[in-house]
Amino acid sequence: MAIDRQTSPHPKLPLASLALLFLTDATFGWILHDWTSNREMWLLVAFGITILGGCVTYPSRSVALIFGRFFKTDVRALILIIGTSFMSVILLTWLNFFIDTVVLFSAGLLVSLDLKVRGWSKPISLLLIIGWQLLGVSTGLFLHYFTAHPPANLPAYVYSDYWVQFIDRLNL
């Protein structure tokens, strides 16, 4: 049985997981435009996406940085457990936001794992994930804005009313 070797010095991209990440972030961008039209909030989300990309690319460093020094004494561990309980109550109160965050994190983690399996280095993976996530959120924001406020000089079939009227005329 022969082993297939790569003919290219560059590893392949995981297109399926990148497409899933892009669609997830585009959907989040669409929802973000519904939540707020405040552009400062969008910049805050872009900063959060950058942090999320770092957390999925370097997960062991992120966990060690956040939790590592708190487990050295029992009092600190107790404070961490109480704080975690309080945060879980808040997360359950805002369940929709929590689920959106988990889906974004999962899609980013899938791409990170695929890139690691295919031999990509961590800094390149980090840049690719952050860039791809920012492109997806920006696309979702733009598409929502474009459908909510279309330019006046577009053809009639771009508007959603055109298709509703067209289906009505077909008597389906």
Residue 139 lies in a domain: yes
| Verdict on whether the full-model pTM lies above 0.75 | no
Q: Quick check: is 1 in a domain?
A: no
Q: Per-residue confidence at 25, pLDDT binned at 50, 70, 90?
A: very high
Encoded amino acid at 143, one letter:
L
State the CB neighbour count (10 A cutoff) for residue 42.
Answer: 17
Rounded Cα–Cα distance for residues 60 and 54 (Å): 11
Domain span holding position 63: 15-29+38-170
76-89 pLDDT per residue, tens: 667 777 888 888 88
The answer to whether residue 10 sits within a structural domain is: no
In a domain, residue 61? The reply is yes
53 lies in some domain: yes
* Residue 6 within a domain: no
Determine, yes or no, domain membership for 3. Answer: no
In a domain, 149, yes or no: yes
- pLDDT, tens digit, 9 for 90 and up, residues 36-67: 878 888 888 889 888 888 888 877 665 556 55
Angle at 126 between CA 123 and CA 130, to 5 degrees: 145
